[in-house]
Amino acid sequence: MDYQTIPKNHRLPGEFWVFAYGSLIWNPGFKYTQRKKACLRNWARRFWQASTDHRGNPEAPGRVLTLVPHEGATCEGIAYQIHGNIEATLSYLDHRERGGYQRQVLPVEITGPPGETRDMLVYIGDSQHPLFTGPTPIGDISRILTRSHGESGSNLDYYRELATALHRENISDPHITHIARNLPA
């Protein structure tokens, strides 16, 4: 697959994988046949996506994760092989990730043994979308996480569930650790 976005009427392959780096790690919400630790090179996880639905509202947007291109960085996450109806899963994910995310297909390395690289679907915040905030001081991110709430719960819970999931998967991420040090006690 060498396309950036998958048109709605694209004929999908029989086997289809999604790479998760945020809430999809601890709460995929769809059925899968395989779940494997994996990584995406030259991308970095950042709390640079405003949330006006899941973890905030239009008056007081929260912050959720996106990926940004970053030469030399590695984002570790989870690769899922979708089980069953791929179209139905994509509709579910499109709705869930409606807050400024776009579908991209990127080469993801499944951690071995045996290791392999596969093209996978990744939801990434569109850097041209108004919900993409760009670089934000860690102190500001921490303050927003502490005070925001949305239809999926508190922003602080999103952060804590992320931190717990990364710990469980033995994934360390300096951006996430840096935020932890700035969260109010």
**Distance of alpha carbon 48 from alpha carbon 22, whole angstroms:** 12
For 74-134, the DSSP string reads EEEEEEEEEPS-HHHHHHHHHHHTTTTEEEEEEEEEEPSSSPEEEEEEEEEE-TTSTTB--
Among 16, 21, 30, 48, binds ligand SIN (CB under 6 A): 21
- 97 catalytically annotated: yes
Amino acid at position 94, single letter: D
Which CB, 21 or 142, lies closer to ligand SIN? Answer: 21
Binding status of residue 28 toward ligand SIN by CB under 6 A: no
Place of tokens 């005070």: 147
Q: Shortest distance, CB of residue 100 to ligand SIN, whole angstroms? A: 11
Span of 19-27, 79-87, 163-171, 177-185 interacting with ligand SIN by CB under 6 A = 19-27
Place of tokens 């690769």: 79
Three-state secondary-structure class, residue 160: helix
Among 46, 123, 131, 144, binds ligand SIN (CB under 6 A): 123
Taking residue 175's Cβ as centre, other Cβ atoms within 10 Å add up to 16
Helix (H) or strand (E) holding 67: strand 62-82
Binding status of residue 22 toward ligand SIN by CB under 6 A: yes
Q: Per the residue annotation, which of 15, 59, 76, 97 is the catalytic one?
A: 97
Q: Shortest distance, CB of residue 22 to ligand SIN, whole angstroms? A: 2
Give, as ranges, the residues between 65 and 84 that touch ligand SIN (CB under 6 A): 65
Which CB, 57 or 161, lies closer to ligand SIN? Answer: 161
Give catalytic residue positions.
Answer: 97
Which residues lie near ligand SIN (CB under 6 A)?
20-24, 64-65, 97, 123
